[in-house]
Amino acid sequence: MVSKTAGYILEMNGIDKSFPGVKALDQASLRLKAGTVHALMGENGAGKSTLMKCLFGIYRADGGEISVMGKPARFGGPREAMEGGVSMVHQELNQVLKRSVMENIWLGRFPKRFGFVSHKIMYERTASIFADLGINVNPRMIIGRLSVSQRQMVEIAKAVSYNAKILVLDEPTSSLTNDEVEHLFTIINKLRSNGVGIIYISHRMEEILKISDEVTIMRDGRWIGTEAASDLTVDKIIKMMVGRDLTQRFPPKTNKPGAELLEVESLTGLYMPTCRDVTFTLRRGEILGVAGLVGSRRTELLETIFGIAHRSGGVIRKEGRHIVNKNSADAIKNGFAMLTEERRATGIFSMLDITFNSVIANIKNYAAHGLLAGGRMYTDTKWVIDSMKVKTPSQKTHIRDLSGGNQQKVVIGRWLLTNPDVLLLDEPTRGIDVGAKAEIYQLIINLAAEGKGIIMVSSEMPELIGISDRIAVMSGGRFAGILDASDATQEEIMRLAALYV
């Protein structure tokens, strides 16, 4: 447990929090200095987000002490926390998408003049904050029209508008390009120089070592250690996070590509921008990685194959048979499965339990005489939990209460219940910690070893090189080349990715 020391703007000591069947926090602790970036790291399920929600007033801690600016603090909710100088930018942005940028920033506290809301004052205050932070966004723009990175910058500006002394950033770079990450770091450095203390949650270790002053590691809801970022290496962080050495980041490839399974010829999407004139083959037991820069239309390629995006031309053959996937139902019948990129938005039913999330893609197989066969659903959900090694108290646990890695395992298990031949995986390890990533990698390799054909989109080049057999590089909606993963380099992938930009 961290001992109390003067000079910290935030101290959380001995924090406990339990949910039914799960002890999420066990004497967890964190201390933050003014004008520093303090990284908070740990596997999914380590308790990072729970600890921050206890700080922010979303959860009420069962025990422990919290002090902000040297005074005891127990916020009753986010509004109270923000008024107390603590702001949090969540990984899943919660904004009123049909209202303007400035209205989102000042929501619930609109500036008034003569008793009426003053849009002029609101605009001027917003523009002033944006100018100070170097944010190039029109305050009157409808926020739903902005990119994810711009919306994230708006949330940081909102925190500044509350004169926040403590800012929590939860996975702030998970959907950003390299240039957008650099812009975010510029803003973070500006806030740091203004004396703001920043808690930075991320799984990207290179980023952590670049931007942070101190790093706190959590494991199983407990504080493991706090060290200066300059004293840490990626290997040391991994060992502290998982409690063991991960000497081999990627499992050995036990799959052996066999006979041709899928042939895609001149595939082109209907609505631009999309994939154009894409041709390739996929063999049974093969992992075909798909690389490319943001905007290269990798997701659109998978969606067009799966039938949730219409195509204007091209042919798909599976084991020589012409396939027409007009929609996802057709795709499932034809032996396809697709893991979407945005797990929380399009992959899970967050308000429902693990059973529902496990069986929904196969629901017709449980129907008999107008009723659902509960026994079979229970058996199949148990298979998903056991075979995917899902950590959960029960089948009735809401999937939103699982860590990101365990949510992803449930979704993969859901698709395996449909017995697919071809799995389309879009960023399968995004937002997942290093330990869970290793489990997902092994799962993908095992599925390929069973004869499944796998097409995997990833923005992480080491990941593509580490587990793929071949790597197709997309640029401007087209295939710029297909490389053998065994001798591919990141430099060669980047050269092809920029070919048609």
- Do residue 232 and residue 279 come from a single domain? no
- pLDDT at position 501, please? 64
Instruction: Determine the structural domain holding residue 490 and report its residue range.
Output: 248-329+463-501
Tokens of 54: 């206890």
Query: Is the pLDDT score of 469 beyond 50?
Result: yes
The last residue of one of the domains, among 176, 210, 242, is: 242
Beta strands, E only, 20-92: 22-32, 37-41, 63-68, 71-72, 86-89
Strands (E), 55-190: 63-68, 71-72, 86-89, 112-113, 116-117, 166-170
pLDDT for 245-302, tens place per residue?
555 678 899 999 999 999 999 999 998 889 999 999 999 999 999 998 777 899 999 9
Helix (H, G, I), strand (E, B) or coil at 184: helix
> What does the pLDDT read at residue 147?
81
Domain-embedded: residue 438: no
Domain membership of residue 84 (yes or no) is yes
Please give, one letter per residue, the 3-state secondary structure of 259-307.
Answer: CEEEEEEEEEECCCCCCCCEEEEEECCCEEEEEECCCCCHHHHHHHHHC
217 in a structural domain: yes
Confidence (pLDDT) at 245: 54
- Which domain CATH number covers 325? 3.40.50.300
345-373: b or e for each residue (b if 16 or more CB lie within 10 Å)?
eebbebeebbbbbbbebbeeeeeeeeeee
pLDDT, residue 4, reads 41
Does residue 280 lie within any of the structural domains?
A: yes
Residues 158 and 235 in one domain: yes
| Segment among 114-118, 177-181, 431-435 with least mean pLDDT | 431-435
The more confidently predicted of residues 46 and 304 is: 304
Same-domain check for residues 126 and 262 = no
Domain for residue 136, yes or no?
Answer: yes
Q: What is the pLDDT of residue 106?
A: 93
The domain tally of the chain equals 2
Q: Is the same domain home to 82 and 16? A: yes
For residue 485, what pLDDT band results from cuts at 50, 70 and 90?
very high
pLDDT at 91: 72
In the listed set 212, 242, 272, which residue is the last one of a domain according to the structure? Answer: 242
Tens digits of residue pLDDT in 442-457: 999 999 999 999 999 9
The arithmetic mean of pLDDT across residues 338-358, rounded, is 87
The one-character DSSP state at 98 is T
- 3-class DSSP state of 338: strand
| pLDDT tens, position by position, 138-185 | 999 999 888 877 888 898 888 888 888 999 998 887 667 777 888 889
Non-local (6+) Cβ contacts of 23 within 8 A are: 16, 17, 221
- Do 234 and 252 lie in a common domain? no
pLDDT of residue 5: 43
Residues 194 and 316 in one domain: no
Domain-embedded: residue 350:
no
User: Which has more pLDDT, 349 or 468?
Assistant: 468
Based on the domain organization, do 188 and 67 belong to the same domain? Answer: yes
pLDDT of residue 174: 67
Does one domain contain both 29 and 161? yes
Q: Is it the case that residue 203 has pLDDT exceeding 80?
A: no
In a domain, 308, yes or no: yes
Q: Let me know whether 143 and 198 are in one domain.
A: yes
